[in-house]
Amino acid sequence: MADITRRLGWRHLRGAPTAHIRHHRSGKLVHDGPGLSFWFRSLTAALSEVPGDDRELAMTFHARTSDFQDVAVQATVTYRIADPALTAARLDFSIDPDTGAWRGAPLEQLGTLLTETAQQHALDVLARTSLSSALVDGVTAVRERVAAGLAAEPRLPATGIEVVAVRVVALRPEPEVERALRTPAREQIQQDADRATYERRAVAVERERAIAENELDSRIELARREEQLVDQRGTNARREAEEQAAADAVRAQAEAARTVKLAEAEAARSVRLARAEAEGAREVGAARADAQAAWLRVHAEVDVATLHALTGTRLAENLPQIDSVTISPDVLTGLLARLGDGERA
């Protein structure tokens, strides 16, 4: 919508870059183009605004297939006004010089024209198509037929309208029919899901069986290896016992030989010691005999008084040490008596 302001009986219009403005004054075209801005008098001006941008027209209509089933078609047509002057001449795009709003509803007229034209071609193609085929290939067929029909429609170029694109969003049957059509598919999907579940379970059972067999094989192999290990341990133990017995025998023989040698050496040493002791005893005995003989010879040559003196000396040497001597009166009396008797004698 154009932006119009008032200044002292004058009006100023400022259009958008995508809006084509046509200004007639007294029947003459004064301004013509997009994005214009100019002053004008409202009493003598005739203004029209034609949009130049692409427009989206959404449409929904019902059709009937060849097997008498109702379907709903949702489509979108993209169009633009290629010749604004021609469109403004064929449709009322005039605007109020005070507010800038359209006096009529030109876009609704364009929408009705495009919708009816597209609906006519869609109904034509669906009337010769069964419901199952329409649900499978109907979207493509309807889109192509509507696009071709709009391109061949003579009223659109005569009005300055250019169709840019046609899209068919959906093609759906009635809710009851759709539910009925979904039932076999859902059952098939459920059957496929059940079959997949059973297959997964079968695969799981097969895998569990394979795992159990592998575990059993592993246990059997482990038991066999343990048996081999026990046999090898027994063989090693016997071999170790045999080697230990052989080593003990060798050690015993060596110990016996060493004991025999030690015994022989000890016997030889004892014999030598006995001989040495006997020889020493003989020599000692001979020495003592010689000493005794010499002593006897010496004592035989001395007189009796000397022998008595030697005897007293030897006796004195063998007596214990006497620190003090206590003489009682009885002993002293007896000694004195003995001395008196000796003197008298």
pLDDT for residue 119: 92
pLDDT for residue 331: 65
pLDDT for residue 344: 56
pLDDT for residue 299: 64
**What confidence tens digit (pLDDT) does each residue in 265-289 have?**
887 887 788 788 878 778 877 877 7
For residue 89, pLDDT over 80 is answered with yes
Mean pLDDT of 34-47: 89
Query: How far is C-alpha 150 from the chain's CA centre?
Result: 61
pLDDT for residue 295: 67
Q: Between 316 and 230, whose confidence is greater?
A: 230
- Distance (Å, rounded) from C-alpha 9 to C-alpha 103? 21
pLDDT for residue 332: 67
pLDDT for residue 177: 83
pLDDT for residue 325: 60
Q: What are the DSSP calls for 28-93, one per residue?
A: EEEEEEET-EEEE-TTTEEEEEEE-S-EEEEEEEEEE-TTS-EEEEEEEEEEEES-HHHHHHHS--
**What confidence tens digit (pLDDT) does each residue in 19-28 have?**
999 999 988 9
| Least confident span in 39-43, 51-55, 331-335 | 331-335
Is the pTM higher than 0.75? The answer reads: no
Q: What are the DSSP calls for 261-299, one per residue?
A: HHHHHHHHHHHHHHHHHHHHHHHHHHHHHHHHHHHHHHH
- Distance (Å, rounded) from C-alpha 48 to C-alpha 45? 10
Q: What is the distance in angstroms between the CA of the first residue and the CA of the last residue of the chain? A: 197
For residue 70, pLDDT over 80 is answered with yes
For residue 50, pLDDT over 90 is answered with yes
pLDDT band of residue 300 (cuts 50, 70, 90) is: low
pLDDT for residue 292: 75
Neighbours of 143 (CB within 10 A): 19
pLDDT for residue 84: 92
pLDDT for residue 340: 66
For residue 343, pLDDT over 80 is answered with no
Coil/strand/helix, residue 227? helix
Mean pLDDT of 131-158: 89
Report the mean per-residue pLDDT for the chain: 84
**What confidence tens digit (pLDDT) does each residue in 151-175 have?**
999 999 999 999 999 999 888 888 8
Q: Between 184 and 172, whose confidence is greater?
A: 172
What are 316's two structure tokens?
């004195």
Coil/strand/helix, residue 4? strand
Among all chains, which residue has been given the structure tokens 């999907």? 189
| Least confident span in 126-135, 153-162, 172-181, 293-302 | 293-302
Mean pLDDT of 5-18: 88
For residue 315, pLDDT over 70 is answered with no
Residue type, 19: A
